[in-house]
Amino acid sequence: MTELAGLSGILGAWYDFRDLNNLQRLITEWIADWGPDWLASIVTGLLGALGILGVIGPTLLVLIWVERKVIARFQQRYGPNRVGPKGLLQPVADAVKLILKEQLAPRAADKLIFFLPPVLIFIPGILIWGVLPFGPRMSVADLNVGVLFLLAVSGTAVLVIFMAGWSSNNKYALLGAMRAVAMSISYEVPMVLALLTLVVFSGTMSINGIVEWQQQEDVIFILLFPLTALVFFFAASAELNRTPADISEAESEIVAGYHTEYSGMRFGLFYAVELGNTLVVSGFIATFFLGGWWMWGLDEWVPSWIILLAKTGAVYFLLIWTRGTLPRLRVDQLMSLCWKALVPATLLFVVVAFVQRTLLISEGWDTTIALPIMAVINIGLSLGAIMLFARVARPADLRRPARIRMAGAEIGGLRAARSVAARSEEPQFQVGGD
Amino acid sequence: MTTRYDAEAAAALVNDAISGAACVDDGDLYLDSTRLVDAVRVLRDGGESDLVFLCNLTAVDYERHFEVVYHLQSLDLNHILTVKARLHDHEDPALPSLTGLFHGAHLQEREVYDLFGIRFDGHPNLQRMFLWDGFPGYPLRKNFLQMPGDVRAGLPGFPHESEENAWPVPGSVPQRPYHPNDPAPPSDVAAVEGEEAS
Amino acid sequence: MTTSDDTRLAMQGTIEALTAGAGSEPVVVNLGPQHPSTHGVFRLKVTLDGEIVQDAEMRIGYLHRSMEKLAEERTYTQNIPFTDRIDYLAAMSNNLAYCLAVEELLGIEVPPRAQAIRVMFAELQRVASHAMANGTFINDCGAWHTPLFHMFRDRERVLDMFEMTCGARLTTNYMRIGGVAFDLPDDLLPTLERYLADMPENIANYEALLLENEILHARARGVGVISPEMAINSSLSGPVLRATGVPWDLRKANPYCGYEQYEFDVPVGERGDCFDRFLVRMAEVKQSLHILRQVVDSLPEGPYLADVPLHARPEPGEAYARVESPRGELGFYLVSDGGPAPYRFHCRPPSLINLSALKEMSIGGTLADAIVTLGSIDIVVGEIDR
């Protein structure tokens, strides 16, 4: 009996730890006992902000290590393994190096505008964390229009990027900035439409509300709207400037894009924000499509923020994976992919969401039966849409396979070339095509 | 293994079309530099010569005159022909450009212009290629940076050729991979003879 | 007219319409001399209208070391290390071509074992060089180094074998006039056997990763296209020429070092675009491994170096010897005046001459296409500038 009691004691403590709000409530109540109301709200707000800053700062340092290590494993290398145990201190060493480096600015740069972007880029990068729900009531600001806030804040980053590119007085930077603007504006459309699908279907614009809807209906959105999830994932990776859509800082074309001229910690700030954004976007993908802090009852026993972080980590790994695997699309291909494929696909699912929502609400269909059927229908629709796109929108260039023939005994110039090409036998190998 | 196109046959082919534009000297085909483009066109378009591929284009400074050397290749018939043009004006050599016939002559003619100072009339973009504009002189000419007195460019003799104990000194050349300090067996010393490694 | 052309034209039209009243002007962007994608100090000056390349002009010479002049002051043997540094990614092929030219001048017969060793190392060099070329090509298409590092592993093992044999990895200085500098070390052939056993699986991995990659297709197909007529007229050679469908390979057409004893095939492309060049290189690696297999199986015994007089002075005359280097036709034109050093030493650099058509390939495409095209030509700046 005593053993069981001990176990339940441990579990109970664990259970309390599940929701960090308990701690916060304690503090608020303690302040409310002796202080004015406004002090309590300020202190809790600061606590939340400090909590987020305190978490993401070290997390970023670890993430740099994780990303480099994972990419290194994809590439059959060891990755950083010299500074500290397993190379864990490498990011710290890098940060120290970046801080100590001289800050150069081009002589012809617009000094003020050149100085501002590394600082300004932090604002959306931090603000966006405010609406990420780590638990049932665990977000700094549980806005009832959280989705709008998210889109609005993330949209401002492009202005900062353009400031950086324009003020650098560098053609690579300018090209990168122009690409970034074109791409951000384009890719915001499928992103908004993808979120609109969720908003329509769950009937709430609160991010926590979307998670709670998934909890109530016992389903995660990726099953209901797989194509939307895919589009959101791709659009998000485009907004994050990660391969295959990293055209605004395409290393092989325009060196480093908009931050070509930034050196030292100014570059470091861009880099940190980019990593932080990657993390938070992974978090939002996990929240919107993978159920966020909820996981089929597991959240009763495991702290919800650990569940969210685990899911975020999984999405983050997926982002690293795509980055380590895929080449980059060209700027016009990215644009045509966005407008010709992603926007129609998400629009289709907005309509589907409307119809299915109406069936659920007005017709009063039983969700336990209707939702699985809808999931199957939507998965089928998604596959159909992808195949339709592959049929219709695929450039004619790519629909013919690329062939390699073996010359055999035919060695020579044009005449030999013609006779090799005219040979009817199967080419040695052939790739691509329909 | 190289199949050469007979210089005599090529000369006959050219002379049939443009009389007196080609002659054979010491087994090499020399083309008249003023009628070079037409003559090479005959060689390129002639069915039996079919020299459609400009392998190589370079020049040699023979101190009194220049020779521009073209290696023309037929891909289908698989033979190669060395064509030369002599330029007697050593101060201001000029030759018609082959860029109208061979797109591949662009860069090679520019290179020859850059390093030998041979002008190719009709070249669309005859600028210096490796060296900067205003570089004094043309380095591959034999009289570039000529030494005072009668010192000629080039190597007069082998290093230490006349001395009694000519290199390599046995054991002074690191031989084996991984073991630079191992005394090398004599056979290996013989293997690197001719290399100034001491 | 293909859809991507349509898109491009539409883009161009849109840009023209948008900028008609705005008084815009083309932007000149210098790619290089220091740029991640120029593979050395190579400068491509592109005139851009938005993203569309209007003009592309190359500026070279940043790595000019006046090798041809220096070589006139060195003996024939002393010039072999220079050839390493001409194309530092295919030093063996350069050594080989130069030695062939000198042997032609001197009239030397090379022993069969030396010839087989030369073929072995030339083909190993081709595998290593193509690994580098394909890896950096995918990088230029925007991949985050992953295929490059995988292919580097293969190259690394080849370089290890070079080191085992001659002590150097890049600048090998291994061929000699009349043969090679050293005989094969005892542990080379087992290492090579292991390498040949491992390579098919590695190649299958690359093919699985890359060949059906839709993004790679979209980036490289129909980009940097050149017709076979234009390719021949521009003196292109090597994989760039073969990708247009012209089956021209000096190892078959003009066999040297006993290439006629080995059975191999010449892969040719169909359209002459960047993807075909990539595929031709992938296929050539397989053929090279096939040749290596045969060389290992039929390696003759005997001397590895012909009896060449130490102070050889060739008769006055000239020689033009060429080999099929990984980048194309690599020729050495030597003129002897009977002295100890070449009177004229000229290298026909395939990298430089393959750039002849770069402008034509790039104009009308986007900036990104120009980078991919440059990457697919596989230049080595040391060879361009010499």
Structure tokens at B70: 């073209």
Q: Of A172, A323, A402, which is closest to C221 when you measure between CB atoms?
A: A402
The neighbours of chain C, by the rule of 3 or more Cβ pairs under 8 Å, are A, B
Q: Cα C214 to the chain's mean position, in Å?
A: 26
Say if A407 falls within a structural domain. no
Contact list, B50 vs chain A (CB under 8 Å) = 413
Q: Does A110 touch chain C (CB under 8 A)?
A: no
> β-pairing, C27-31 with B94-96?
unpaired
Distance from CA of C65 to the nearest CA of A (A): 27
Contact list, C246 vs chain A (CB under 8 Å) = 412-414, 416-417
Residues β-bridged to residue A405: C268
Contact list, B53 vs chain A (CB under 8 Å) = 413
Distance from CA of C243 to the nearest CA of A (A): 8
- State the residue for tokens 């490796």: B130
Query: Count H helices, E strands: chain C?
Result: 16, 9
Structure tokens at A65: 């290590």
Among chain C residues, the shortest Cα distance to B191 is held by C181
Name the burial class of residue B66, with classes exposed (0-12), middle (13-18) and buried (19+) by CB atoms within 10 angstroms of its CB: buried
Distance from CA of B36 to the nearest CA of A (A): 24
Domain C67-385 grouped into CATH 1.10.645.10: yes
Name which CATH class applies to B7-121. Answer: alpha beta
> How many domains would you assign to chain A?
1
Q: Does C217 touch chain A (CB under 8 A)?
A: yes
Q: Of A244, A404, A420, which is closest to C215 when you measure between CB atoms?
A: A244
Distance, in Å, from the CA atom of B129 to the CA atom of A114, rounded to the nearest integer, reads 38
At C107-131, the pLDDT tens digits run 888 899 999 999 999 999 999 999 9
Q: Of B52, B53, B76, which is closest to A416 when you measure between CB atoms?
A: B76
For residue A58, whether the previous peptide bond is cis, meaning omega lies within 30 degrees of 0, is no
Question: Does B107 sit within 8 Å of C64, measured CB to CB?
Answer: no
Say if A294 falls within a structural domain. yes
Per-residue pLDDT of chain C (386 residues; tens, 9 = 90+): 445 566 666 666 666 666 665 556 788 888 878 777 767 788 888 888 878 888 888 888 888 888 888 888 888 888 888 888 888 888 899 999 999 999 988 888 889 999 999 999 999 999 999 998 988 888 888 877 888 888 888 899 999 999 888 888 888 888 888 888 888 888 888 999 999 999 999 888 888 888 888 888 888 888 888 888 889 888 898 899 989 888 888 888 888 888 888 888 888 888 888 888 998 998 899 999 999 999 999 988 888 888 887 777 888 888 888 899 998 889 999 998 887 888 888 999 998 998 888 888 888 888 888 888 888 888 888 888 88
Q: Does C371 touch chain A (CB under 8 A)?
A: yes
HSE toward the beta carbon, residue A20, CA cutoff 13 A? 15
The neighbours of chain A, by the rule of 3 or more Cβ pairs under 8 Å, are B, C
Higher confidence at residue B101 or residue A432?
Answer: B101
Provide the pLDDT for residue C48. Answer: 84
C 103-122 near A (Cβ less than 8 A) = none
- State the residue for tokens 């409307």: A354
- B147 falls in which pLDDT band (50, 70, 90)? low
Q: Does C206 touch chain A (CB under 8 A)?
A: no
Q: Cα A372 to the chain's mean position, in Å?
A: 27
Among chain A residues, the shortest Cα distance to B74 is held by A413
Q: Does C8 touch chain A (CB under 8 A)?
A: yes
Structure tokens at B187: 């056979």
Contact list, B177 vs chain C (CB under 8 Å) = 163-167, 185
Say if A128 falls within a structural domain. yes
Tell me the whole-structure pTM to 2 decimals. 0.82
Where in chain B are the domains?
A: 7-121, 164-193
Q: Does C295 touch chain A (CB under 8 A)?
A: no
Tell me the residues of A at the B interface, defined by beta carbons under 8 Å apart. 411-416
Q: Does B75 touch chain C (CB under 8 A)?
A: yes
ipTM of predicted complex: 0.82
Structure tokens at C138: 């995918």
